[in-house]
Structure 1
Amino acid sequence: MSSYICPECNQVWNGYWCKPCNSKHFQNDFNNWTSGNEKIDKLIQDAQLNADMNWEAVEWIPYDRFKDVKQIECNQVWNGYWCKPCNSKHFQNDFNNWTSGNEKIDKLIQDAQLNADMNWEAVEWIPYDRFKDVKQIGKGGFGTIHYARWNDGFIEKWDIKNQQWKRDQDEDGEEVALKKFDNFVNFNDVLNEMEIHFKTFCSNVGTSIQFYGITQDPETLSYMMVLKYAKDGNLREYLKINFNNINWLQKLSNLRDLSYNLMNIHKLDIVHQDFHPGNILSYDFKNYSMRISDFGLSKLIWTNPNNPEKKNIVGVLPYIAPEVLSGDEEYTKAADVYSFGIIAYETITGFPPYPDIPHDEDLAIKICNGLRPKIPFHTPKLITRIIMRCWDARVTHRPTFEELEDELWKYYWDYKGYLDEEENKDSEIVIQIKKAEEFSANQESTNTTTTTPLNYQTHPQAIYTSRLLNYSKLPKPKNEENFERELEELAKSFSHINTNDDIDEF
């Protein structure tokens, strides 16, 4: 993260909280208060002297600074917004008043409600008649997405006075997306998708789209996930329309956020297995709110009828790691890293991989033999190196998402510090981005249409939705002839950079 100089003490600080100064301010006030107990005083004082950020600064608060004090329902300690014991009881009291018609879905919802630590973890059964303005807006490999407005809105907290749930209600209804699975999808796989999505959202709220609940199409009887509506759509659509208006800070932020989200998913021992821009959604791309969707459903859908032990491959061909295509390895965390490398290429260039050729067995063979998209020569070399390491055919040479997040976080804050405060002028990433921008500016001087959507032709057999890919006898994965030499030269060119200040030599 970039460093700043405190205007009060002239020492390095984070731009928000100067620990030396604030420790001094707290200490100067120690004689002006006491809890009446030496141990409590010491606990508070130690917290204040050692606080690295404002939320670590515990205070002694005189009781007369509170108002409207009253005992709430259960008289247990709570967070001031969501009382888990009380709310679990409210949910449980209502269990007999609804059913999805399926015991497993009922149990999923009930378990979520009983264990919810905050309102966003309280998944609901939502009758279909509570939606209006329902219309299909998208179709994937295994289902459709519908837009709708939810009349009730999601639960905020329990209204003690009126003894009912207080909801976030919009006059026109809450905008939601209804994810409907095709009839051929096995129910257990649908349930698995719901459980994984719920787990990833609850473990880290910023990782995936908010999961409001479950409903059922009254005509087809298909169960549907009710999700927060991502009004900016998916990353592929956004890049095609807006790429020429996306600056390098947003590109770095997008890559940093994606690596952070995948890092959190992998910490749960979940492998996405179908990671591509169509599964990256956002409420607002400009404000860096990227979310990941479609967790692992395609992993479980298909089994090869001729060989039950061999799973068929499902996904979007250009984003599938060569060792998965060839059958050499099961889908691993490293395969998600490969997909990230292709997505990083697309984020930097704006172009999807291999748009002008059929996505068929011939392409799969070429990928196994080392074919990769061509990275433009003016791309910052640090970013080129990240992309190449991610799509290395040697699985053990790929970085982890922890490593990627550390590296991209550093690049983002170095460049942001340069833009905001003209700091970090000697940072390697700043130097390289400036060169890339100079090249782009020279190109734009002869092109007056740079703010228009990207224009490229897509081959009719270039397919960017998930599907069954049942190829056989693909070659053992390898890199192209000069790949490893080029990657080694990139690594050597940055070997002088201090590992603590810039990138690690992984």
Structure 2
Amino acid sequence: MQIKYLASENFKKYGKCKECQQANTGLKWCNSCNSKRFQEEFHKWTSGDKEIDEFIQRIQLMANNHEEVIEWIPFDGLKNITYLTEGGFSSVYKAIWPVGYIDSWNYKEKNWKRESQWEYVCLKILKSLDVFKDTDKRKFLQEIKNQLKFRGKGAIAVYGLTKNPIENEYFIVMKYATYGDLRKMLDNNFEKLSWIQKIRILYYISNGLANIHEAGLMHCDIHPGNIVNVSLTSSYISDFGLCKSLSLVSRNYKKRIYGYGVVPYMATETLSRGEYTRKSDIYSFGMIMLEVFTSYPPYYNIPQDYVNRIMRIYKVLGLRPKIKYKIPQLLKDLMDKCWDIDPFNRPTAKELEVQLEKYVNGDNSELEEQIKEADEVNKNFKPYNPHSNIRYLYSLWGGKVGKGVWPNFWKFLLLILL
């Protein structure tokens, strides 16, 4: 009965397949027919690794729409490969992909219809990963699987895998985010953003996070480096390398989780007790709210060399980042809830999504008045400048951070606490 009902619903939504006359499983997509087409092409490609081949093949056979598909992309089919940046665990490149991603089956031409030909894609290699080790390979493939679940649901699209045959390096091939990560976008565009645009950015992120949580997962590494912008306000979650299942964490509740994420964005309970729940993701989201609203990263005034040492004390004491920028009270209250020291008092991702959507689309006179007031107060505000702020920190410490400046440590700690 369940299968018949699903087929009936799919027929209403997507119509019927032109070939087998059965209900499509997605927009312009028939799983039954397309899985056979993929299977017929298995002999035409290989990654050079049996496990990776089988991983891609399983995903192709199970795909109910084009957003659930990945493919093996020949490295020599990528053009103009250019280095972009280095992250904590990965190196990122961009390249032009002339072929483009699979969208549907072209019945007239009898081949795959593809979209986004000759557009840039993002290539990510995990630096610490040795895909020739079984444990590392499983982590690599699990990250792709997790991210693929949320393509079209708030996560940046994954198109497939490729391999540099000279360096023996495997890359994840993803949609290219024109504006880069959230931090880069804010550095370059903060003064252009209206309050509604800032809220829209946060709405997109909360939507992605809500989808992750509703699927029984936790991202575990929410910070601006893992949020990418394909436009000024369209933000997507990326990097699912630390993503964990709620059920897995529940079964191993006695095993504490340390070292997850970037310290300034980590929740108090994670830093102090090694506990991680969905509400820990919400705490991280609260820090992102601060950054989007003000342009300033949380605890920007703590030198990187001492972040790990200071943050545990700072957060356990219940202290929060300084806010040198007027934020409309309704938005500030929502942000403060995300930071609550008691995880149970924090909103869910879905509640955040719903509230932010109301602020974006609704006619809220109270918020409008608060925005006017904030804009008036912030007239002479100077956005965050990573270069000038580094020089400022050095001057506070009386020299280059990390070189014989411990006599000034307590003085500096007082400065950031007050």
TM-score normalised by the chain length of structure 2? 0.80
| Correspondences of 1:462-477 after superposition (within 5 Å) | none
- C-alpha deviation, 1:230, in angstroms: 0.5
Paired residues of 1:139 and 1:145 also in contact (CA < 8 A): yes
CA distance in 2, matches of 1:130, 1:84: 27
1:82 corresponding residue in structure 2 = 29
Select between 112-121 and 260-269 the one with higher mean Cα deviation.
112-121
2:268 corresponding residue in structure 1 = 322
1:94-134, CA deviations, whole angstroms, 9 ceiling, x for partnerless residues?
Answer: 11222222333222211221122222322101111111111
1:73 corresponding residue in structure 2 = 19
Select between 347-356 and 367-376 the one with higher mean Cα deviation.
367-376
| Correspondences of 1:122-201 after superposition (within 5 Å) | 122-168=69-115, 170=117, 173-184=118-129, 186-201=136-151
CA distance 1:156–1:395, shift in 2 (3 Å): closer
CA distance in 2, matches of 1:392, 1:71: 51
Within the candidate set 365, 383, 401, 2:331 is matched to 383
Structure 2 letter corresponding to 1:136: Y
Superposition misfits of 4+ residues, deviation over 6 angstroms: 450-455
Q: What SS class does the counterpart of residue 378 from structure 1 fall into?
A: coil
Within the candidate set 369, 390, 403, 1:431 is matched to 369
CA distance 1:218–1:383, shift in 2 (3 Å): same
CA distance in 1, matches of 2:385, 2:176: 24
Query: Which structure has the larger Rg?
Result: 1
Paired residues of 1:190 and 1:297 also in contact (CA < 8 A): no
Paired residues of 2:256 and 2:275 also in contact (CA < 8 A): no
Q: What SS class does the counterpart of residue 160 from structure 2 fall into?
A: strand
Q: Which has the higher helix share?
A: 2
State whether structure 2 residue 321 is matched by structure 1 residue 346.
no
CA distance 1:74–1:316, shift in 2 (3 Å): same
CA distance in 2, matches of 1:175, 1:348: 30
Paired residues of 2:219 and 2:243 also in contact (CA < 8 A): no
1:291 corresponding residue in structure 2 = 236
CA distance 1:182–1:348, shift in 2 (3 Å): same
Within the candidate set 349, 354, 374, 1:401 is matched to 349
Structure 2 letter corresponding to 1:370: G
2:416 corresponding residue in structure 1 = none
Structure 2 letter corresponding to 1:155: I
2:397 corresponding residue in structure 1 = none
- C-alpha deviation, 1:324, in angstroms: 0.6
| Correspondences of 1:435-454 after superposition (within 5 Å) | 435-441=373-379, 443=380
CA distance in 2, matches of 1:452, 1:182: 30
1:144-167, CA deviations, whole angstroms, 9 ceiling, x for partnerless residues?
Answer: 111111121112222233322222
Identity of aligned residues (%): 40
- C-alpha deviation, 1:382, in angstroms: 1.4
CA distance in 2, matches of 1:77, 1:298: 34
CA distance in 1, matches of 2:274, 2:96: 43
- C-alpha deviation, 1:392, in angstroms: 1.3
1:304-340, CA deviations, whole angstroms, 9 ceiling, x for partnerless residues?
Answer: xxxx9554413211001111111x2421101000001
| Correspondences of 1:350-365 after superposition (within 5 Å) | 350-358=295-303, 359-365=307-313
- C-alpha deviation, 1:455, in angstroms: 6.8
CA distance in 2, matches of 1:276, 1:120: 25
Within the candidate set 218, 226, 235, 2:173 is matched to 226
2:192 corresponding residue in structure 1 = 245
CA distance in 2, matches of 1:311, 1:260: 25
Structure 2 letter corresponding to 1:407: Q
State whether structure 2 residue 189 is matched by structure 1 residue 256.
no
Paired residues of 1:321 and 1:335 also in contact (CA < 8 A): yes
Unaligned runs of 5+ in 2: 1-11, 131-135, 246-253, 395-418
Select between 70-79 and 385-394 the one with higher mean Cα deviation.
70-79
CA distance 1:80–1:313, shift in 2 (3 Å): closer
1:61 corresponding residue in structure 2 = none
Structure 2 letter corresponding to 1:291: Y
CA distance in 2, matches of 1:174, 1:330: 42
| Correspondences of 1:260-271 after superposition (within 5 Å) | 260-271=207-218
CA distance in 1, matches of 2:257, 2:236: 28
CA distance 1:436–1:454, shift in 2 (3 Å): farther
RMSD over aligned CA atoms reads: 2.6
- C-alpha deviation, 1:298, in angstroms: 7.5
State whether structure 2 residue 389 is matched by structure 1 residue 457.
yes
CA distance in 1, matches of 2:160, 2:103: 14
Structure 1 letter corresponding to 2:340: D
Structure 1 letter corresponding to 2:368: V
Paired residues of 1:244 and 1:452 also in contact (CA < 8 A): no
Structure 1 letter corresponding to 2:76: D
- C-alpha deviation, 1:80, in angstroms: 7.0
CA distance in 2, matches of 1:323, 1:95: 47
TM-score normalised by the chain length of structure 1? 0.66
CA distance in 1, matches of 2:176, 2:241: 20
Select between 70-79 and 151-160 the one with higher mean Cα deviation.
70-79
Structure 1 letter corresponding to 2:67: W
Greater RCO, CA 8 A, separation 6+: 1
CA distance in 1, matches of 2:256, 2:332: 35
State whether structure 2 residue 305 is matched by structure 1 residue 367.
no
Structure 1 letter corresponding to 2:87: G
Structure 1 letter corresponding to 2:374: A
| Correspondences of 1:56-135 after superposition (within 5 Å) | 72-78=18-24, 81-135=28-82
Unaligned runs of 5+ in 1: 1-57, 59-69, 301-307, 418-423, 445-449, 461-506
Select between 150-159 and 137-146 the one with higher mean Cα deviation.
150-159
CA distance in 1, matches of 2:187, 2:46: 43
Select between 106-115 and 347-356 the one with higher mean Cα deviation.
106-115
- C-alpha deviation, 1:357, in angstroms: 1.7
Q: What SS class does the counterpart of residue 260 from structure 2 fall into?
A: strand
Structure 2 letter corresponding to 1:398: R
Structure 2 letter corresponding to 1:75: Q
Paired residues of 1:322 and 1:368 also in contact (CA < 8 A): yes
CA distance in 2, matches of 1:364, 1:434: 37
CA distance 1:80–1:431, shift in 2 (3 Å): closer
